[in-house]
Amino acid sequence: MDFSTISDIVRLTWLAGAACFVIGLMRMNSPATARNGNLLSAGGMAVAIAATAILLFARPTVDGGVNGTGWAIIVVGILVGGGAGLYTARTVKMTAMPQLVSLFNAAGGGAAALIAIDDYLGLKAAPDPQINVATVLDIVIGSITFTGSLIAAGKLQGLIAGKPIMIPAGRIVTVALAVITVLGAVFLWAGNLSVPVMLLILAAALVFGVTMVLPIGGADMPVVISLLNSFTGTAVAMAGFVLGNDVLIIAGALVGASGAILTKLMADAMNRSVMNIMIGGFGGGEGTQTAAGGAGGTVRAIGADDVAIQLAYAQHVIVVPGYGLAVAQAQHAVRELAELLEERGVDVKYAIHPVAGRMPGHMNVLLAEANVPYPQLKEMDDINPEFERCDVALVVGANDVTNPAARRPGSPVSGMPILDVDKAHSIVVIKRSMGRGYAGIDNELYTNPKTGMLFADAKDGLAALTAAVKAL
């Protein structure tokens, strides 16, 4: 086969790979086909990469031989990167997945930036304006994504404080960096070939990624990661323009656009706007629990033994898990309690709010990991009508998602759909204090006469309940 035929076939294969990405993403829109969709996408990727290897191998070289160093770089790079990716992805705990996704995103953005940097360093004369535009955009966006995603991962992992970090004169620094980047880019676009200016832009963009993400609260990180993911897609599409490669353009633009939509959906689900998050509004999240001391209304504290009796002689119990359960790693403790109750003939269900916790699907992941039977997990819309028939609603470390204030306008959570916990015959809340949740406001559920507060760490409180039920 001559090279031009091979090249044609490779290009068509790339196109087929890109089609797999699209169809895979479509299938990932619904739980039943999601896993299959991801596999299809992976298959498309494998085929596209294999085709690339064949193309590079078949390509006539200057001296007619095989470029040993080049292949060595590729093989070593793939082994090292693939090994690292595989190992971390396999061993990471379920709860640490978002930060890992962010790390992988950083890697992708970094690779895209490196392509443009390498291309720029190899330039002998100023390139066509269009290519120049793409190169500079790739460097800038790729670098911002690289450092931004690293910071986001660090925040989620707890390596960097989750609460908003205010850099002294932070806004001014950020704006200054943005101005430097834009001016440098315009200078290069004007047709000037200058490696120092390129390096200046590179440095400014790298620092900008840091100053952009640092002031944002840890709880908002999933949205930030999704946004940076969309950025990486755009950077990869730019790399495609630099190299004149369609498959990079297609896959990059696909991720850029779908990532943008996804970012908006995620922000909507937690009742925030993307703008609001990026500017760093509220969202201190885990930093605010020491606020207030129970403003307005009296609070009834209750002991583990009392709660145990209520639970053991109830017919229907609904467990409402929240962020506090995740922090306390109390998923196994709650399953044990539920199993004990079920043995005694109590009907136990879990009410899963879509944004309970700090990442979408947080509660599903946690409880699935603890082997809670899937049929017991109920989505918000399915379980809400059942609260009025339930004897005890056991709220474990959930706050905002149960706050009846969401039904009225004028509060930060207004409009967010909530679990109708206040409709239950009796309510028990396990949390450590009267501390506030993510939205930083008081919860009038706690002053409801039907509510008893069991002040404890989620894991300890549940263990105490289990012991008390066993002792009955």
Q: Contact residues for ligand NAP (CB under 6 A)?
A: 219-220, 222, 270-271, 289, 322-324, 327-328, 355-360, 362, 397-401, 431-433, 435-439, 457-458
* Shortest spacing between CB 215 and ligand NAP, in angstroms: 16
CB 18 within 8 A of CB 47: no
Nearest Cα neighbor of 254 from 272, 230, 270 is 230
- Which run of H or E residues covers position 308? helix 304-312
SS3 call for 120:
helix
353, 323 in Cβ contact below 8 A? no
Q: Is 120 near another protein (CB under 8 A)?
A: no
In the list 47, 54, 126, 262, the residue contacting another protein (rule: CB under 8 A) is 262
Strand order in the sheet with 377-379: 377-379, 347-352, 316-321, 392-396, 426-431, 451-455
State the nearest-atom distance from the C-beta of 325 to ligand NAP, in Å.
7
Residue 104 binds another protein, judged by CB under 8 A: yes
DSSP 387: G
CB of 418 to another protein, least distance (A): 14
Shortest Cβ distance from residue 398 to ligand NAP (Å)? 4
Question: Which residues touch 422 (CB under 8 Å, ≥6 apart)?
Answer: 387, 402, 404, 445, 448, 450
Binders of another protein among residues 156 to 195 (CB under 8 A) are none
249 is in the binding site of which of another protein, ligand NAP, none (Cβ under 5 to 8 A by kind)? Answer: another protein
437 binds, among ligand NAP, another protein, none (CB under 5 to 8 A by kind): ligand NAP
- Binding range to another protein, per CB under 8 A, among 119-127, 291-299, 403-411, 425-433: 119-127
394 DSSP β-pair partners: 319, 428
Residue with smaller CB distance to ligand NAP, 150 or 333:
333
Of the two residues 394 and 434, which places its CB atom closer to another protein in the complex? 394
Tokens of 18: 């890109």
- Residues 28-47, one symbol each (x = binds another protein by CB under 8 A, - = not), give xxxxx-xx-xxx-xx--x--
Binding-site partner at residue 438 among another protein, ligand NAP, none, CB < 5 to 8 Å by type: ligand NAP
Interface segment toward another protein; rule CB under 8 A; list 211-219, 347-355, 407-415, 422-430 = 347-355
Sorted by sequence, the CB contacts under 8 Å of residue 306 that are 6+ apart come out as 452
The whole-angstrom separation of Cα 188 and Cα 186 is: 5
Number of residues that make up the chain: 472
Question: Does residue 382 carry a catalytic annotation?
Answer: no
Q: Which is nearer to ligand NAP, 43 or 303 (CB)?
A: 303
CA distance 290 to 157: 22
By a kind-dependent CB cut-off of 5 to 8 A, residue 105 interacts, out of ligand NAP, another protein, none, with another protein
Question: Site mask, another protein, residues 237-256, x = CB under 8 A?
Answer: x-xxx-xxxxxxxxxxxxxx
Best CA proximity match to 325, nearest among 313, 317, 315, 337: 337
Candidates 151, 314, 318, 340: give the one binding another protein (CB under 8 A): 340
Nearer to another protein, 19 or 295 (CB): 19
> Which partner in ligand NAP, another protein, none is near 357 (CB below 5 to 8 A by kind)?
ligand NAP
Instruction: Report the half-sphere exposure of 43 (CA within 13 A, side-chain side).
Output: 13
User: Considering beta carbons, is residue 209 or 218 the nearer one to ligand NAP?
Assistant: 218
**Is 100 among the residues that bind another protein (CB under 8 A)?**
yes
- Strand partners of residue 395: 320, 429
Is residue 103 exposed (0-12), middle (13-18) or buried (19+ Cβ within 10 Å)? Answer: buried
> Closest CB to another protein among 113 and 427?
113
The residue of the chain with the least Cβ separation from ligand NAP equals 437
Least spacing, CB of residue 207 vs another protein, in Å: 20
Q: Which is nearer to another protein, 17 or 452 (CB)?
A: 17
Could you tell me the two tokens for 116? 């443009």
Q: What one-character-per-residue DSSP string does 391-449 give?
A: SEEEEES--GGG-GGGGSTTSTTTT-----GGGSSEEEEEESSS---TT----GGGGST
Q: Choose among ligand NAP, another protein, none what residue 327 binds, the Cβ cut-off being 5 to 8 Å by kind.
A: ligand NAP
- DSSP H stretches of helix in 28-67: 31-58
Nearest distance from C-beta of residue 45 to another protein, angstroms: 6
* Cβ-based nearer residue to another protein, 84 or 166: 84
Residue 371: CB atoms within 10 Å:
11
Residue 397 is a binding residue for another protein (CB under 8 A): no
Instruction: Catalytic residue, from 400, 420, 422, 442: name it.
Output: 400
400 makes contact, choosing from another protein, ligand NAP, none, with CB < 5 to 8 Å by partner type, with ligand NAP
CA 439, chain centre distance (Å): 18
Positions annotated as catalytic residues are 400
